[in-house]
Chain A
Amino acid sequence: MTFLEGQAERQGIAIGASGDTRVRSASPAAHPATVATSEETPIKMTARKLSVFYGEKQALFDVSLDIPDRQIMAFIGPSGCGKSTFLRSLNRMNDTIAGCTMTGEVMVDGINIYDRVVDVVELRRRIGMVFQKPNPFPKSIYDNVAYGPRIHGLASSKEELDEIVQTCLARTGLLDEVSTRLHEPGTSLSGGQQQRLCIARAIAVSPDIILMDEPCSALDPIATARVEELMQELQKNYTIVIVTHNMQQAARVSQRTAFFHLGTLVEWGMTEQIFTSPVDDRTQGYITGRYG
Protein backbone atom coordinates (compact mmCIF):
# COMPACT_ATOMS: atom_id res chain seq x y z
CA MET A 1 0.00 0.00 0.00
CA THR A 2 1.42 3.43 -0.95
CA PHE A 3 1.60 6.28 1.46
CA LEU A 4 -1.19 8.12 -0.36
CA GLU A 5 -3.44 5.12 -0.26
CA GLY A 6 -2.64 4.84 3.41
CA GLN A 7 -3.75 8.40 3.90
CA ALA A 8 -6.99 7.75 2.09
CA GLU A 9 -7.62 4.68 4.20
CA ARG A 10 -6.94 6.71 7.28
CA GLN A 11 -9.57 9.21 6.23
CA GLY A 12 -11.94 6.38 5.52
CA ILE A 13 -11.61 5.20 9.06
CA ALA A 14 -12.04 8.75 10.30
CA ILE A 15 -15.31 8.93 8.37
CA GLY A 16 -16.30 5.70 10.06
CA ALA A 17 -15.59 7.27 13.44
CA SER A 18 -18.06 10.06 12.80
CA GLY A 19 -20.86 7.53 12.96
CA ASP A 20 -21.32 6.32 9.41
CA THR A 21 -19.39 3.08 9.54
CA ARG A 22 -20.89 1.88 6.24
CA VAL A 23 -18.95 4.42 4.18
CA ARG A 24 -15.93 2.15 3.98
CA SER A 25 -17.76 -0.77 2.55
CA ALA A 26 -18.76 1.31 -0.46
CA SER A 27 -15.32 1.11 -2.07
CA PRO A 28 -13.73 -2.28 -1.60
CA ALA A 29 -13.78 -3.10 -5.32
CA ALA A 30 -10.22 -1.90 -5.85
CA HIS A 31 -9.00 -4.77 -3.72
CA PRO A 32 -9.33 -8.12 -5.48
CA ALA A 33 -9.05 -10.04 -2.22
CA THR A 34 -12.32 -8.59 -1.00
CA VAL A 35 -14.33 -9.68 -4.02
CA ALA A 36 -12.78 -13.02 -4.84
CA THR A 37 -15.13 -15.65 -3.44
CA SER A 38 -16.85 -18.67 -4.79
CA GLU A 39 -20.25 -17.52 -3.52
CA GLU A 40 -22.16 -14.32 -3.97
CA THR A 41 -21.74 -13.14 -0.37
CA PRO A 42 -19.69 -9.96 -0.01
CA ILE A 43 -16.52 -10.35 2.00
CA LYS A 44 -15.89 -8.26 5.09
CA MET A 45 -12.47 -9.42 6.21
CA THR A 46 -9.68 -11.18 4.43
CA ALA A 47 -6.56 -12.77 5.85
CA ARG A 48 -3.72 -13.53 3.45
CA LYS A 49 -0.78 -15.72 4.36
CA LEU A 50 -1.07 -14.81 8.01
CA SER A 51 1.59 -16.30 10.25
CA VAL A 52 1.90 -15.51 13.94
CA PHE A 53 4.87 -16.21 16.18
CA TYR A 54 5.16 -16.15 19.95
CA GLY A 55 8.88 -15.47 20.22
CA GLU A 56 10.55 -18.32 18.32
CA LYS A 57 7.49 -20.50 18.29
CA GLN A 58 5.20 -20.28 15.28
CA ALA A 59 1.57 -20.54 16.31
CA LEU A 60 -0.11 -19.90 12.97
CA PHE A 61 1.06 -20.94 9.51
CA ASP A 62 0.13 -19.01 6.34
CA VAL A 63 -3.58 -18.73 7.01
CA SER A 64 -5.65 -17.28 4.16
CA LEU A 65 -9.35 -16.93 4.79
CA ASP A 66 -12.31 -14.78 3.74
CA ILE A 67 -14.89 -13.74 6.32
CA PRO A 68 -18.27 -12.90 4.78
CA ASP A 69 -20.13 -9.72 5.59
CA ARG A 70 -23.05 -9.94 8.03
CA GLN A 71 -22.83 -13.64 8.55
CA ILE A 72 -21.58 -15.73 11.41
CA MET A 73 -18.34 -17.57 10.88
CA ALA A 74 -17.24 -20.18 13.40
CA PHE A 75 -13.68 -21.31 14.08
CA ILE A 76 -13.33 -24.80 15.47
CA GLY A 77 -10.39 -26.99 16.31
CA PRO A 78 -8.63 -28.66 19.24
CA SER A 79 -6.93 -26.61 21.96
CA GLY A 80 -3.73 -25.01 20.74
CA CYS A 81 -4.75 -25.21 17.08
CA GLY A 82 -4.35 -21.46 16.58
CA LYS A 83 -7.99 -20.48 16.25
CA SER A 84 -7.90 -18.01 19.14
CA THR A 85 -4.55 -16.66 17.95
CA PHE A 86 -6.11 -16.09 14.55
CA LEU A 87 -9.19 -14.45 16.07
CA ARG A 88 -7.02 -12.13 18.15
CA SER A 89 -5.00 -11.13 15.12
CA LEU A 90 -8.20 -9.87 13.49
CA ASN A 91 -8.35 -6.84 15.78
CA ARG A 92 -4.68 -6.70 16.68
CA MET A 93 -5.19 -8.01 20.18
CA ASN A 94 -1.94 -9.92 19.70
CA ASP A 95 -0.12 -6.54 19.65
CA THR A 96 -0.47 -6.48 23.40
CA ILE A 97 1.41 -9.76 23.88
CA ALA A 98 5.16 -9.30 24.34
CA GLY A 99 7.22 -11.20 21.78
CA CYS A 100 4.29 -11.75 19.46
CA THR A 101 5.08 -11.02 15.81
CA MET A 102 3.26 -11.68 12.59
CA THR A 103 3.62 -11.72 8.83
CA GLY A 104 0.99 -11.56 6.11
CA GLU A 105 -1.97 -9.26 6.08
CA VAL A 106 -5.48 -8.81 7.42
CA MET A 107 -7.77 -6.63 5.35
CA VAL A 108 -11.03 -5.16 6.59
CA ASP A 109 -13.08 -3.62 3.80
CA GLY A 110 -9.90 -3.56 1.79
CA ILE A 111 -7.73 -1.83 4.40
CA ASN A 112 -4.74 -3.63 5.85
CA ILE A 113 -5.32 -3.28 9.57
CA TYR A 114 -1.59 -3.75 10.24
CA ASP A 115 -0.76 -0.69 8.18
CA ARG A 116 1.26 1.81 10.22
CA VAL A 117 -1.30 4.56 9.77
CA VAL A 118 -4.16 2.55 11.19
CA ASP A 119 -5.35 3.83 14.57
CA VAL A 120 -5.55 0.74 16.75
CA VAL A 121 -8.02 2.24 19.20
CA GLU A 122 -10.35 3.15 16.36
CA LEU A 123 -9.81 -0.28 14.81
CA ARG A 124 -10.93 -1.99 18.00
CA ARG A 125 -13.99 0.21 18.14
CA ARG A 126 -14.93 -1.11 14.72
CA ILE A 127 -14.03 -4.66 15.66
CA GLY A 128 -15.44 -5.45 19.08
CA MET A 129 -14.63 -8.46 21.17
CA VAL A 130 -16.49 -10.65 23.65
CA PHE A 131 -14.50 -13.03 25.82
CA GLN A 132 -14.94 -16.44 27.33
CA LYS A 133 -15.64 -15.26 30.85
CA PRO A 134 -18.11 -12.41 31.19
CA ASN A 135 -15.99 -9.45 32.23
CA PRO A 136 -18.21 -6.48 33.02
CA PHE A 137 -16.41 -3.39 34.32
CA PRO A 138 -16.75 -2.87 38.07
CA LYS A 139 -19.33 -0.21 37.31
CA SER A 140 -23.09 0.02 37.07
CA ILE A 141 -25.01 -1.75 34.34
CA TYR A 142 -25.67 1.62 32.74
CA ASP A 143 -22.03 2.69 32.85
CA ASN A 144 -20.83 -0.59 31.40
CA VAL A 145 -22.76 0.14 28.23
CA ALA A 146 -22.21 3.91 28.31
CA TYR A 147 -18.45 3.64 28.77
CA GLY A 148 -17.53 3.08 25.12
CA PRO A 149 -19.83 5.70 23.58
CA ARG A 150 -18.55 8.19 26.19
CA ILE A 151 -14.84 7.76 25.48
CA HIS A 152 -15.40 7.66 21.73
CA GLY A 153 -17.63 10.73 21.91
CA LEU A 154 -20.50 9.00 20.20
CA ALA A 155 -23.19 10.80 22.20
CA SER A 156 -23.53 14.59 22.38
CA SER A 157 -26.03 14.72 25.24
CA LYS A 158 -27.24 12.76 28.23
CA GLU A 159 -30.44 11.94 26.36
CA GLU A 160 -28.53 10.55 23.42
CA LEU A 161 -26.37 8.45 25.71
CA ASP A 162 -29.48 7.17 27.52
CA GLU A 163 -30.92 6.17 24.20
CA ILE A 164 -27.79 4.29 23.15
CA VAL A 165 -27.76 2.42 26.47
CA GLN A 166 -31.47 1.58 26.23
CA THR A 167 -31.19 0.44 22.62
CA CYS A 168 -28.20 -1.76 23.24
CA LEU A 169 -29.72 -3.35 26.34
CA ALA A 170 -32.94 -3.90 24.42
CA ARG A 171 -31.11 -5.52 21.49
CA THR A 172 -29.42 -7.97 23.80
CA GLY A 173 -32.74 -8.75 25.46
CA LEU A 174 -31.51 -7.42 28.79
CA LEU A 175 -33.58 -4.27 29.09
CA ASP A 176 -36.70 -5.92 30.45
CA GLU A 177 -34.63 -7.88 32.90
CA VAL A 178 -32.60 -4.94 34.27
CA SER A 179 -34.65 -1.81 33.55
CA THR A 180 -35.32 -1.17 37.25
CA ARG A 181 -31.76 -1.63 38.36
CA LEU A 182 -29.63 0.11 35.75
CA HIS A 183 -27.48 1.64 38.47
CA GLU A 184 -26.64 -1.57 40.25
CA PRO A 185 -23.22 -3.07 39.53
CA GLY A 186 -22.88 -5.11 36.32
CA THR A 187 -21.29 -7.84 38.38
CA SER A 188 -24.54 -8.34 40.31
CA LEU A 189 -26.11 -10.00 37.24
CA SER A 190 -26.15 -13.72 36.55
CA GLY A 191 -23.40 -15.16 34.32
CA GLY A 192 -25.61 -15.25 31.24
CA GLN A 193 -26.86 -11.74 31.85
CA GLN A 194 -23.29 -10.53 32.38
CA GLN A 195 -22.27 -12.02 29.03
CA ARG A 196 -25.18 -10.32 27.30
CA LEU A 197 -24.17 -7.09 29.09
CA CYS A 198 -20.70 -7.51 27.59
CA ILE A 199 -22.26 -7.95 24.16
CA ALA A 200 -24.39 -4.82 24.76
CA ARG A 201 -21.19 -3.01 25.71
CA ALA A 202 -19.52 -4.26 22.53
CA ILE A 203 -22.30 -3.08 20.23
CA ALA A 204 -22.67 0.28 22.02
CA VAL A 205 -19.78 1.72 20.03
CA SER A 206 -21.37 0.74 16.69
CA PRO A 207 -18.80 -1.78 15.56
CA ASP A 208 -18.91 -3.51 12.16
CA ILE A 209 -17.52 -6.77 13.39
CA ILE A 210 -17.85 -8.65 16.67
CA LEU A 211 -15.28 -11.27 17.59
CA MET A 212 -16.39 -13.80 20.19
CA ASP A 213 -13.93 -16.05 21.91
CA GLU A 214 -15.89 -18.95 23.44
CA PRO A 215 -18.68 -16.64 24.56
CA CYS A 216 -20.86 -19.39 26.00
CA SER A 217 -18.40 -21.79 27.57
CA ALA A 218 -19.11 -20.42 31.04
CA LEU A 219 -22.89 -20.35 30.58
CA ASP A 220 -25.67 -22.83 31.23
CA PRO A 221 -27.70 -24.16 28.27
CA ILE A 222 -30.53 -21.66 28.66
CA ALA A 223 -28.17 -18.68 28.86
CA THR A 224 -26.27 -20.18 25.93
CA ALA A 225 -29.47 -20.40 23.89
CA ARG A 226 -30.18 -16.72 24.67
CA VAL A 227 -26.72 -15.68 23.49
CA GLU A 228 -27.09 -17.82 20.35
CA GLU A 229 -30.47 -16.28 19.63
CA LEU A 230 -28.88 -12.86 20.13
CA MET A 231 -26.09 -13.74 17.70
CA GLN A 232 -28.60 -14.67 15.04
CA GLU A 233 -30.32 -11.35 15.60
CA LEU A 234 -27.09 -9.34 15.55
CA GLN A 235 -25.95 -11.05 12.38
CA LYS A 236 -28.39 -8.85 10.42
CA ASN A 237 -26.21 -5.84 11.19
CA TYR A 238 -22.83 -7.18 12.20
CA THR A 239 -20.24 -9.57 10.95
CA ILE A 240 -19.66 -12.10 13.71
CA VAL A 241 -16.72 -14.41 14.17
CA ILE A 242 -16.96 -16.97 16.96
CA VAL A 243 -14.39 -19.35 18.34
CA THR A 244 -16.07 -22.31 19.99
CA HIS A 245 -15.22 -25.74 21.32
CA ASN A 246 -18.86 -26.66 21.10
CA MET A 247 -19.31 -28.06 17.60
CA GLN A 248 -23.06 -28.24 17.93
CA GLN A 249 -22.96 -24.53 18.66
CA ALA A 250 -20.87 -23.88 15.56
CA ALA A 251 -23.31 -26.01 13.56
CA ARG A 252 -26.34 -24.22 15.04
CA VAL A 253 -25.34 -20.59 14.69
CA SER A 254 -22.87 -20.19 11.86
CA GLN A 255 -23.16 -20.07 8.09
CA ARG A 256 -19.43 -20.72 7.59
CA THR A 257 -17.06 -22.85 9.55
CA ALA A 258 -13.28 -23.01 9.51
CA PHE A 259 -11.36 -25.90 11.02
CA PHE A 260 -7.87 -25.27 12.43
CA HIS A 261 -5.34 -27.91 13.37
CA LEU A 262 -1.76 -27.47 14.63
CA GLY A 263 -1.64 -23.85 13.54
CA THR A 264 -2.91 -24.40 10.03
CA LEU A 265 -6.28 -23.77 8.49
CA VAL A 266 -7.26 -27.24 7.33
CA GLU A 267 -10.63 -26.64 5.77
CA TRP A 268 -13.29 -23.96 5.60
CA GLY A 269 -16.59 -23.59 3.86
CA MET A 270 -20.33 -23.69 4.31
CA THR A 271 -21.17 -24.98 7.78
CA GLU A 272 -23.59 -27.56 6.46
CA GLN A 273 -20.96 -29.00 4.16
CA ILE A 274 -18.30 -29.08 6.90
CA PHE A 275 -20.58 -30.98 9.26
CA THR A 276 -22.13 -33.40 6.78
CA SER A 277 -19.35 -34.13 4.31
CA PRO A 278 -16.00 -32.57 5.21
CA VAL A 279 -13.28 -33.05 2.64
CA ASP A 280 -10.26 -33.45 4.87
CA ASP A 281 -9.74 -36.53 7.05
CA ARG A 282 -8.52 -34.38 9.93
CA THR A 283 -11.77 -32.39 9.91
CA GLN A 284 -13.74 -35.62 9.74
CA GLY A 285 -11.75 -37.07 12.64
CA TYR A 286 -12.18 -33.99 14.81
CA ILE A 287 -15.88 -33.40 14.32
CA THR A 288 -16.83 -37.04 14.69
CA GLY A 289 -14.73 -37.44 17.84
CA ARG A 290 -12.09 -39.82 16.49
CA TYR A 291 -8.37 -39.73 17.05
CA GLY A 292 -6.84 -37.14 14.75
Chain B
Amino acid sequence: MSSEHIVKSYDEELNHLNEAILKMGGLAEAQLADAIEAIAVRDPELASETMRGDVKIDALEAAVDHQAVRLLALRQPMAKDLRTIIAALKISAAIERIGDYAANVAKRAIVLSEARPVRPVHAIPRMGRLVQRMIKDVLDAYTEGDAVKAKAVWLKDADVDDLYNSLFREVLTYMMEDPRNITACTHLLFIAKNIERIGDHATNMAELVYYMVVGTPLLETRPKGDDASYTMVEPPGRTDGKGNAD
Protein backbone atom coordinates (compact mmCIF):
# COMPACT_ATOMS: atom_id res chain seq x y z
CA MET B 1 0.00 0.00 0.00
CA SER B 2 1.28 3.42 -0.86
CA SER B 3 1.49 5.69 2.13
CA GLU B 4 0.27 8.71 0.25
CA HIS B 5 -3.26 9.99 0.28
CA ILE B 6 -5.01 10.67 -2.99
CA VAL B 7 -5.66 14.13 -1.58
CA LYS B 8 -2.15 15.60 -1.19
CA SER B 9 -3.15 18.40 1.18
CA TYR B 10 -4.27 15.75 3.68
CA ASP B 11 -0.71 14.37 3.76
CA GLU B 12 0.66 17.86 4.15
CA GLU B 13 -1.56 18.54 7.14
CA LEU B 14 -0.59 15.25 8.77
CA ASN B 15 3.06 16.11 8.16
CA HIS B 16 2.63 19.48 9.82
CA LEU B 17 1.19 17.72 12.82
CA ASN B 18 4.11 15.30 12.99
CA GLU B 19 6.63 18.07 12.61
CA ALA B 20 5.04 20.02 15.47
CA ILE B 21 5.20 16.93 17.70
CA LEU B 22 8.85 16.34 16.88
CA LYS B 23 9.69 19.97 17.49
CA MET B 24 7.90 19.87 20.84
CA GLY B 25 9.68 16.66 21.79
CA GLY B 26 13.06 18.05 20.79
CA LEU B 27 12.45 21.16 22.88
CA ALA B 28 11.37 19.15 25.91
CA GLU B 29 14.42 16.93 25.61
CA ALA B 30 16.68 20.03 25.47
CA GLN B 31 14.83 21.62 28.39
CA LEU B 32 15.47 18.58 30.52
CA ALA B 33 19.13 18.45 29.46
CA ASP B 34 19.61 22.14 30.33
CA ALA B 35 17.86 21.82 33.69
CA ILE B 36 20.12 18.92 34.63
CA GLU B 37 23.19 20.74 33.39
CA ALA B 38 22.17 23.69 35.55
CA ILE B 39 22.11 21.39 38.58
CA ALA B 40 25.41 19.72 37.72
CA VAL B 41 27.35 22.94 37.20
CA ARG B 42 25.35 25.03 39.73
CA ASP B 43 24.38 27.60 37.11
CA PRO B 44 21.36 29.73 38.13
CA GLU B 45 21.54 31.70 34.84
CA LEU B 46 21.09 28.58 32.74
CA ALA B 47 18.34 27.46 35.13
CA SER B 48 16.36 30.71 34.71
CA GLU B 49 16.74 30.55 30.96
CA THR B 50 15.47 26.99 30.97
CA MET B 51 12.41 27.98 33.00
CA ARG B 52 11.57 30.67 30.48
CA GLY B 53 11.88 28.16 27.62
CA ASP B 54 8.75 26.29 28.70
CA VAL B 55 6.38 28.79 27.04
CA LYS B 56 7.59 27.64 23.63
CA ILE B 57 6.46 24.09 24.38
CA ASP B 58 3.11 25.35 25.62
CA ALA B 59 2.62 27.35 22.43
CA LEU B 60 3.42 24.32 20.30
CA GLU B 61 0.98 22.22 22.27
CA ALA B 62 -1.77 24.71 21.48
CA ALA B 63 -0.79 24.53 17.80
CA VAL B 64 -0.90 20.72 17.80
CA ASP B 65 -4.34 20.76 19.44
CA HIS B 66 -5.59 23.20 16.86
CA GLN B 67 -4.24 21.17 13.95
CA ALA B 68 -5.59 17.90 15.36
CA VAL B 69 -9.08 19.31 15.89
CA ARG B 70 -9.01 20.76 12.40
CA LEU B 71 -8.00 17.42 10.88
CA LEU B 72 -10.69 15.58 12.83
CA ALA B 73 -13.36 18.04 11.73
CA LEU B 74 -12.39 18.49 8.12
CA ARG B 75 -10.95 15.11 7.09
CA GLN B 76 -12.95 12.66 9.18
CA PRO B 77 -9.85 10.47 9.52
CA MET B 78 -10.13 6.70 9.62
CA ALA B 79 -7.97 3.78 10.72
CA LYS B 80 -4.24 4.62 10.88
CA ASP B 81 -4.87 8.32 10.22
CA LEU B 82 -7.34 8.44 13.07
CA ARG B 83 -4.94 6.67 15.40
CA THR B 84 -2.12 8.99 14.37
CA ILE B 85 -4.15 12.08 15.19
CA ILE B 86 -5.44 10.74 18.49
CA ALA B 87 -1.89 9.72 19.41
CA ALA B 88 -0.58 13.18 18.43
CA LEU B 89 -3.15 14.85 20.70
CA LYS B 90 -2.19 12.71 23.67
CA ILE B 91 1.54 12.76 22.98
CA SER B 92 1.52 16.54 22.82
CA ALA B 93 -0.17 16.63 26.23
CA ALA B 94 2.51 14.27 27.59
CA ILE B 95 5.31 16.41 26.17
CA GLU B 96 3.75 19.52 27.63
CA ARG B 97 3.84 17.86 31.07
CA ILE B 98 7.45 16.86 30.49
CA GLY B 99 8.20 20.52 29.77
CA ASP B 100 6.50 21.53 33.02
CA TYR B 101 8.52 19.03 35.03
CA ALA B 102 11.75 20.16 33.35
CA ALA B 103 10.90 23.77 34.22
CA ASN B 104 10.32 22.77 37.81
CA VAL B 105 13.66 20.93 37.91
CA ALA B 106 15.28 24.14 36.59
CA LYS B 107 13.52 26.22 39.24
CA ARG B 108 14.87 24.00 42.00
CA ALA B 109 18.32 24.13 40.39
CA ILE B 110 18.40 27.82 41.31
CA VAL B 111 17.82 27.06 45.00
CA LEU B 112 20.26 24.16 44.91
CA SER B 113 22.98 26.38 43.50
CA GLU B 114 22.59 28.61 46.54
CA ALA B 115 22.48 25.80 49.13
CA ARG B 116 25.52 23.92 50.26
CA PRO B 117 26.39 21.01 47.93
CA VAL B 118 25.15 17.56 48.87
CA ARG B 119 26.64 14.39 47.51
CA PRO B 120 23.51 12.64 46.10
CA VAL B 121 23.35 15.38 43.44
CA HIS B 122 25.75 13.24 41.45
CA ALA B 123 23.05 10.67 40.79
CA ILE B 124 20.80 13.25 39.09
CA PRO B 125 22.71 13.57 35.79
CA ARG B 126 22.71 9.80 35.39
CA MET B 127 18.98 9.57 35.95
CA GLY B 128 18.47 12.56 33.67
CA ARG B 129 20.49 10.99 30.83
CA LEU B 130 18.46 7.81 31.08
CA VAL B 131 15.16 9.66 30.87
CA GLN B 132 16.45 11.95 28.12
CA ARG B 133 17.36 8.85 26.15
CA MET B 134 13.83 7.52 26.63
CA ILE B 135 12.36 10.75 25.24
CA LYS B 136 14.70 10.63 22.26
CA ASP B 137 13.98 6.96 21.55
CA VAL B 138 10.22 7.34 21.84
CA LEU B 139 10.32 10.29 19.43
CA ASP B 140 12.37 8.17 17.02
CA ALA B 141 9.85 5.35 17.40
CA TYR B 142 7.11 7.89 16.61
CA THR B 143 8.88 9.20 13.50
CA GLU B 144 9.79 5.75 12.22
CA GLY B 145 6.50 4.13 13.21
CA ASP B 146 8.52 1.52 15.08
CA ALA B 147 6.45 -0.43 17.60
CA VAL B 148 9.41 -2.56 18.70
CA LYS B 149 11.42 0.51 19.62
CA ALA B 150 8.41 1.96 21.42
CA LYS B 151 8.11 -1.18 23.50
CA ALA B 152 11.81 -1.06 24.35
CA VAL B 153 11.32 2.46 25.77
CA TRP B 154 8.34 1.22 27.68
CA LEU B 155 10.47 -1.45 29.37
CA LYS B 156 13.24 1.04 30.22
CA ASP B 157 11.10 2.80 32.78
CA ALA B 158 11.94 0.10 35.33
CA ASP B 159 15.59 1.27 35.25
CA VAL B 160 14.50 4.82 36.04
CA ASP B 161 12.44 3.55 38.93
CA ASP B 162 15.44 1.64 40.28
CA LEU B 163 17.60 4.74 40.18
CA TYR B 164 14.91 6.78 41.84
CA ASN B 165 14.53 4.25 44.65
CA SER B 166 18.22 4.18 45.46
CA LEU B 167 18.43 7.98 45.29
CA PHE B 168 15.47 8.24 47.63
CA ARG B 169 17.16 6.08 50.26
CA GLU B 170 20.43 7.91 49.85
CA VAL B 171 18.83 11.33 50.26
CA LEU B 172 16.97 10.24 53.40
CA THR B 173 20.21 9.06 54.90
CA TYR B 174 21.89 12.38 54.19
CA MET B 175 19.08 14.29 55.82
CA MET B 176 19.42 12.16 58.94
CA GLU B 177 23.12 12.69 59.06
CA ASP B 178 22.96 16.43 59.11
CA PRO B 179 19.84 18.61 59.33
CA ARG B 180 21.67 21.35 57.39
CA ASN B 181 21.31 19.07 54.33
CA ILE B 182 17.53 19.04 54.57
CA THR B 183 16.84 22.04 52.31
CA ALA B 184 19.03 20.83 49.49
CA CYS B 185 17.99 17.22 49.94
CA THR B 186 14.29 18.02 49.88
CA HIS B 187 14.69 19.90 46.62
CA LEU B 188 16.73 17.02 45.35
CA LEU B 189 13.95 14.60 46.19
CA PHE B 190 11.47 16.67 44.24
CA ILE B 191 13.90 16.90 41.34
CA ALA B 192 14.34 13.14 41.32
CA LYS B 193 10.59 12.67 41.55
CA ASN B 194 10.06 15.05 38.62
CA ILE B 195 12.57 13.19 36.49
CA GLU B 196 10.92 9.92 37.44
CA ARG B 197 7.56 11.39 36.36
CA ILE B 198 9.09 12.46 33.05
CA GLY B 199 10.07 8.82 32.58
CA ASP B 200 6.45 7.84 33.19
CA HIS B 201 5.28 10.28 30.53
CA ALA B 202 7.84 8.91 28.07
CA THR B 203 6.43 5.47 28.87
CA ASN B 204 2.90 6.69 28.15
CA MET B 205 4.13 8.11 24.88
CA ALA B 206 5.61 4.71 24.06
CA GLU B 207 2.20 3.12 24.66
CA LEU B 208 0.60 5.70 22.36
CA VAL B 209 3.15 5.09 19.62
CA TYR B 210 2.56 1.35 19.94
CA TYR B 211 -1.20 1.88 19.60
CA MET B 212 -0.71 4.23 16.68
CA VAL B 213 1.41 1.70 14.80
CA VAL B 214 -0.19 -1.61 15.74
CA GLY B 215 -3.82 -0.57 16.23
CA THR B 216 -4.28 -2.36 19.54
CA PRO B 217 -3.25 -1.15 22.98
CA LEU B 218 -0.12 -2.48 24.66
CA LEU B 219 -1.85 -4.66 27.22
CA GLU B 220 0.98 -6.47 28.93
CA THR B 221 1.77 -5.57 32.50
CA ARG B 222 4.77 -3.35 32.76
CA PRO B 223 7.43 -4.27 35.32
CA LYS B 224 6.95 -1.68 38.06
CA GLY B 225 9.96 -0.76 40.12
CA ASP B 226 8.88 2.37 41.97
CA ASP B 227 8.74 1.26 45.59
CA ALA B 228 9.94 4.57 47.09
CA SER B 229 6.37 5.07 48.29
CA TYR B 230 6.89 2.19 50.74
CA THR B 231 10.44 3.02 51.73
CA MET B 232 11.30 3.51 55.41
CA VAL B 233 14.78 4.46 56.56
CA GLU B 234 15.31 4.47 60.33
CA PRO B 235 17.82 6.97 61.72
CA PRO B 236 20.84 5.34 63.41
CA GLY B 237 20.66 4.99 67.19
CA ARG B 238 16.87 5.00 67.36
CA THR B 239 14.54 2.20 68.43
CA ASP B 240 12.80 0.27 65.66
CA GLY B 241 9.35 0.92 67.10
CA LYS B 242 9.18 -2.37 69.00
CA GLY B 243 11.26 -1.11 71.87
CA ASN B 244 14.45 -2.77 70.65
CA ALA B 245 17.58 -0.66 70.61
CA ASP B 246 19.32 -0.33 67.23
Residues of chain A whose beta carbon lies under 8 Å from any beta carbon of chain B: 247-248, 251, 275-278, 281-285, 287-292
Contact = CB atoms under 8 A, between A and B. Distances in A.
Contact of B79 (A248, A276, A291, A292): A276
16 contacts: A276-B79, A276-B215, A277-B215, A278-B215, A281-B1, A282-B1, A283-B79, A287-B78, A288-B78, A288-B79, A288-B80, A289-B6, A289-B7, A290-B2, A290-B4, A290-B6
Contacts of A283: 79
Nearest to A292: B1
Contact of B1 (A275, A277, A290): A290
A277 B4 contact: no
Given A247-B78, A278-B215, 8 more contacts: A276-B79, A276-B83, A278-B79, A284-B79, A285-B1, A289-B6, A291-B2, A291-B4
A290 B3 contact: yes
A282 B2 CA distance: 10
Interface residues of B, number: 19
B77 interface: yes
A240 B99 CA distance: 51
B214 to A, nearest CB: 8
Contacts of B229: none
Secondary structure call for the B interface: loop
Contacts of B82: 275-276
5 A-B pairs closest in CB distance:
A277-B215, A281-B1, A285-B1, A291-B2, A287-B78
Contacts of B10: 289
Contacts of B6: 289-291
A284 B79 CA distance: 6
A246 B177 CA distance: 72
Contacts of A277: 79, 83, 214-216
Interface string B1-42: 111111100100000000000000000000000000000000
B79 A275 contact: yes
A276 B76 CA distance: 12
B240 to A, nearest CB: 55
Nearest to A278: B79
B162 interface: no
A276 B86 CA distance: 11
Chain A CB within 10 Å — which of B2, B7, B77, B80 has the most? Answer: B80
Chain A CB within 10 Å — which of B1, B2, B81, B82 has the most? Answer: B1
A289 B80 contact: no
Nearest to B84: A288
